[in-house]
Each structure stands twice: as structure tokens, then as C-alpha cells.
């Protein structure tokens, strides 16, 4: 398959594919001669994954490169590779430790984890990007005068835990490790928009049930 065919089959313009090649999001094709390179199904698959990350997941190009770098890093054991890939995804601003709202948020989150008995998450607290972004978000909420305390968050966290159980159950239905890794990345990137859409739809449904259509 040549560049032009890769383009038509993926629906991505040749110029953009060249850009991805330049940026290292796509491995170079097998060079046949100075003017021809050959691509295979694996390239097509990778290209679609990249597009999904960028377009659906709004992941910046630099982050995509980092994530794929971990996926392809054969020097690491697979579980670590997956974790590394997922952890390089979020683009979290570092919480400002001196900010009073950040400090309050940290206490709330710590109280939440205690209440839930999430012992593993507590151990990951200092390093997990998810933990940091939770703190940042809670602090933003508090700054606006809305207390989002542990007792309010706990039921949400319970529901999210059930969601995570579903996620892992689904992942385990995939037999090959390769597929599992790709599925997990897609899960982190495309599942979340799906969850978010379901959440908003559910809000609309529930609002209509309670108050009608407001007409």
C-alpha cells in the first residue's frame, strides 16, 4: 500500500499523513526506492488510532507521540507499558501547593479515599495524574464558593468504581495482550466522551422526568 492508498482508506489527507510521519506518530513505511514507500495494515490501524486520539479525544500531538512511545517500548513489561501510556495522557496543570483552596481540596480528597477504603489509590496519591487533576478540579469548585466535600463526592466515587469494574471486565474479554493495550488506550480516550455523552443524556432524561420539557 502506498501513501495515496493509505490516505484514501483512512480518509486522512496525504499532507496530514506526511505531517504525522514527520512528527513520529506513524512509523516510516518500508522504503522500496527513493520515491516509493510501502505501508501495511498495521500502519492503517495505527493511523486510525492516532486520528481517534487527536480528533475524538482532543489529545495534543506531542502527547500522542509520548503515549505511543510507551506502547512501543519493548524494554518494559507489558503492564508497566500500559500504565505508563495511560499516565502520560492527561494534561494536568500542577496544583499550586501554596493555594489555600488547593490545600483544602487535598484534605477533602484524602478524606474521601479514607471513607471509601481505596487503599491503593492512597498509595498512588503523590504520583497519579488522576489524583492531581481531581485536586485541581475540587479546588476550582471551592474557589467559586461551592463546597464539594467528601460526603458529597463519595456516592459519585462509588458509581465511578462500578464503572471501572465494568471497564476491566470488558478489557479482560480481549484475549491478546496487544489488543488489550490498544483497547485500554481507546477506553481512556474514547470511552470517556461516550461516558460524558451518556451522562448528559441521562441528565436530560432525568430533568424531563422531573420537570417535563418546560413548555
Partner DNA sequence: CCTTCTCGGATACCGGCACTATCCAAGCAT
Partner DNA sequence: ATGCTTGGATAGTGCCGGTATCCGAGAAGG
Residues in the site for DNA, rule: CB under 7 A? 2-4, 13-16, 18-19, 21-22, 28-29, 31, 33-37, 54-55, 60-62
Smaller CB separation from a second copy, 4 or 166: 166
Minimum Å gap between C-beta 6 and DNA is: 8
**Cell numbers 501495511 label which residue?**
40
CA atoms within 13 A on the CB side of 114: 9
Choose among DNA, a second copy, none what residue 97 binds, the Cβ cut-off being 5 to 8 Å by kind.
Answer: none
Smaller CB separation from a second copy, 30 or 199: 199
Smaller CB separation from a second copy, 30 or 161: 161
Residues 6+ apart with CB under 8 A from 28: 21, 37
| DSSP assignments along 4-34, one per residue | HHHHHHHT--HHHHHHHHHHTSSPPPEEEET
H/E stretch holding 37: strand 36-38
Minimum Å gap between C-beta 99 and a second copy is: 9
Minimum Å gap between C-beta 1 and a second copy is: 17
Amino acid at each position: 500500500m502506498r501513501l495515496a492508498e493509505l490516505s484514501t482508506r483512512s480518509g486522512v489527507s496525504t499532507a496530514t499523513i506526511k505531517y504525522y510521519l514527520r512528527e513520529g506518530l506513524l512509523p516510516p513505511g518500508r522504503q522500496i526506492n527513493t520515491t516509493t514507500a510501502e505501508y501495511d495494515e498495521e500502519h492503517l490501524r495505527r493511523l486510525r488510532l492516532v486520528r481517534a486520539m487527536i480528533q475524538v479525544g482532543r489529545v495534543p500531538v506531542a502527547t500522542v507521540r509520548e503515549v505511543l512511545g510507551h506502547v512501543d517500548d519493548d524494554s518494559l513489561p507489558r503492564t508497566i507499558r500500559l500504565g505508563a501510556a495511560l499516565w502520560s495522557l492527561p494534561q494536568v496543570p500542577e496544583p499550586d501547593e501554596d493555594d489555600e483552596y488547593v490545600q483544602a481540596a487535598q484534605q477533602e480528597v484524602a478524606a474521601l479515599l479514607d471513607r471509601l477504603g481505596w487503599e491503593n489509590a492512597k498509595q498512588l496519591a503523590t504520583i497519579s495524574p488522576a489524583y492531581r487533576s481531581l485536586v485541581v478540579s475540587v479546588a476550582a469548585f471551592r474557589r467559586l464558593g461551592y463546597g464539594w466535600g467528601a460526603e458529597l463526592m463519595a456516592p459519585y466515587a462509588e458509581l465511578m468504581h462500578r464503572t471501572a469494574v465494568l471497564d476491566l471486565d470488558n478489557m479482560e474479554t480481549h484475549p491478546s495482550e496487544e489488543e488489550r493495550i490498544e483497547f485500554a488506550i481507546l477506553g481512556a480516550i474514547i470511552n470517556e466522551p461516550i461516558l460524558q455523552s451518556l451522562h448528559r443524556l441521562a441528565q436530560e432524561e432525568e430533568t424531563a422526568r422531573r420537570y417535563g420539557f418546560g413548555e
